Amino acid sequence: MDSAQLDHYLGSFEGLTLEFKRSLHFIEHVGRTFCAFANTQGGLLIVGIEKKDGKTVVVGVDDPDVEDQHLVQTVSQLRPKPNFESHRVKKDGKNLIVISIHQVPVSEVCFFKKTIYRRIGAINSEVSEQDVVRFLQQRGTVSFEDNRSNAKLGDLNYSKIKLLLKSRGVKVNEHEPLVWRSILGSLGVANTAGEFFLKNSSVLFFAKDITKFYLNPEVRVVKFKGKTKTLESREYDQRFIDTLPELLSKVFTTVREKAGISGRIVEGKRVETQMVPDEVLREALTNAVGHRDYFDPNGILVELYADRLEIINPGSLMPGLTLKNFSEVRKARNPVVYRMLNDSEWGEGLNLGIKAMYRIMRQNNLPDPEFEDLGGMFKVTLYGALSDKKPRPYGQLTERQQKAVAYLQRRDFLTAPDFAKLADISHPTAIRDLNDLTAQGVLIKTGRYRSSKYALEKH
């Protein structure tokens, strides 16, 4: 870690992925932090720091070798042991230890002394016995789509199965008997090893009547007059529930119709366009249906206003994903659902990508989409032409960003600290500029934390 990065972290507040410790001597406290980071998004533990009167004070560690021994003792009590790197650095002539703790795979859960901890803000929170199941569901360790369903073969609509097979390029001969068990097993929606049973994913796609099994594959579409939400301004309110491809088709058609046409003056002429480009709407709706948390009993909510469209679906970002990196790292809460939507007519939406949403909105002179993790719910806001928010012209780069692009035309990659020196700006400003270029599709980002690198996107 270079000095600019270290200064950036020392100037930050403790939070989801950052904690300061005076020493590693108190193994109980350090072990909880290790465990919590490993079960959440990973994080940085900087040792040799003390909080005095709300300020971060560099006190250093007296003997780094002794601290390393405490570190070994701590890690020995973690099961499984998370991957981590420990580095010694100097600050103001004092020794610090920077420990980068990696998140354990979603299929695993880290325990410290037989207890699970997770990170909530800057707190290491113990997961109680009654919360363990929900914690595993939220992490994706327990998968809704792979769970056993009560449905039987007779509860499925075989026409829907044939339609999906056809979309995958599988020729279905109507005159030959189909071995449905083998077909469903090959699709990953049924267990064929040992006892045969249907998984929840088979019901989500092929049920004759999905309401017989679940009520939450539902999308509620509400339209309000004007730009604010009131009971008096509500002019449309409809709930849709169906198997996923059919659900998306109904909702997309309805939202497109209810959003209507927006008019604006371009070079002295009135131009009429959809509130939100079809490609962006498809992406947003498909992601909401494909990535939502189906353990959550709530449905998806779509709210339409005169100037914007809001989509709220159950489920926070997956572990390891943040609002800063989720456009680069694709992780699916429901990989089978994701794949089958990709195989169906809605694959176009899933393949579009977050960066393309930014690009298409800017190309249409519309404000950037906004994404919010509300803690258990995820919200996407798409603004139309009547919004007061100013659009960012596509391809318009600041003078600083032009320097970054010019640099990368001569070099293979650029880091935030290097860019900060190049443009004579702070480290956080450098990160914002580079992330904005990434959102525009100009750059591609690889790595995390101090290993993050940016390169030109190849078109």
Identify whether residues 259 and 192 lie together within a single domain: no
Residue 61 per-residue DSSP state:
-
Task: Give the pLDDT score at 179.
Answer: 84
In a domain, 389, yes or no: no
In a domain, 297, yes or no: yes
- Alpha carbon dihedral 79, 85, 89, 91, in 10-degree steps, equals -60
Residues 178, 172: contact at Cβ < 8 Å? yes
CATH number of the structural domain spanning residue 80? 3.30.950.30
Identify whether residues 379 and 268 lie together within a single domain: yes
Q: How many of the other CB atoms lie within 10 Å of CB of 399?
A: 7
At which of 174, 189, 212 does a domain end? Answer: 212
CATH number of the structural domain spanning residue 274? 3.30.565.60
Taking CA atoms, 53 is separated from 12, 29, 57, 91, 458, in Å, by 15, 21, 10, 20, 49
Taking CA atoms, 259 is separated from 44, 53, 244, 278, 308, in Å, by 45, 53, 22, 11, 9
Identify whether residues 412 and 358 lie together within a single domain: no
Nearest to 102 by CA among 83, 122, 121: 83
In a domain, 147, yes or no: no
In a domain, 390, yes or no: no
Identify whether residues 68 and 168 lie together within a single domain: no
The domain of 426 spans 399-456
Please state, in angstroms and rounded to a whole number, the distance separating the CA atoms of residues 405 and 246: 44
Angle at 262 between CA 256 and CA 263, to 5 degrees: 155
In a domain, 416, yes or no: yes
Encoded amino acid at 289, one letter: V
CATH number of the structural domain spanning residue 439? 1.10.10.10
Identify whether residues 131 and 222 lie together within a single domain: no
Identify whether residues 357 and 436 lie together within a single domain: no
Identify whether residues 222 and 369 lie together within a single domain: yes
Question: Is the peptide bond prior to 391 cis by the omega test (within 30 degrees of 0)?
Answer: no
Identify whether residues 190 and 234 lie together within a single domain: no
Identify whether residues 109 and 225 lie together within a single domain: no
Identify whether residues 236 and 204 lie together within a single domain: no
At which of 107, 139, 171 does a domain end? Answer: 139
Task: Give the pLDDT score at 262.
Answer: 63
Task: Give the pLDDT score at 317.
Answer: 84
- What is the domain count for the chain? 4
Taking CA atoms, 116 is separated from 19, 37, 105, 142, 317, in Å, by 18, 11, 15, 16, 20
Task: Give the pLDDT score at 351.
Answer: 46
The one-digit pLDDT tens for each residue of the chain (459 residues) are: 778 888 888 988 899 899 999 999 999 999 999 999 999 889 999 999 998 887 889 999 999 999 999 999 999 999 999 999 999 999 999 999 999 999 998 778 999 999 999 998 899 999 998 889 888 887 777 789 999 999 999 999 999 999 888 887 777 766 566 688 999 999 999 999 889 999 999 999 999 999 999 999 999 999 999 999 999 999 999 999 999 999 999 999 999 999 977 655 555 665 567 899 999 999 999 999 999 999 999 999 999 999 999 999 999 887 777 787 777 666 788 889 988 998 887 865 444 578 788 888 888 889 989 999 998 899 999 999 889 998 876 666 778 888 888 899 888 899 988 898 888 888 888 888 888 788 777 888 887 666 688 998 875
At which of 83, 105, 139 does a domain end? Answer: 139
Task: Give the pLDDT score at 449.
Answer: 60
Q: How many of the other CB atoms lie within 10 Å of CB of 237?
A: 10
What's CA 340's distance to the chain center, in Å?
A: 19
In a domain, 450, yes or no: yes
Encoded amino acid at 5, one letter: Q
Q: Residue 85, SS3?
A: strand
In a domain, 388, yes or no: no
Identify whether residues 352 and 442 lie together within a single domain: no
**CB neighbour list of residue 252: distance below 8 Å, 6 or more residues apart:** 281, 282, 285
Identify whether residues 52 and 81 lie together within a single domain: yes
In a domain, 275, yes or no: yes
Encoded amino acid at 431, one letter: I
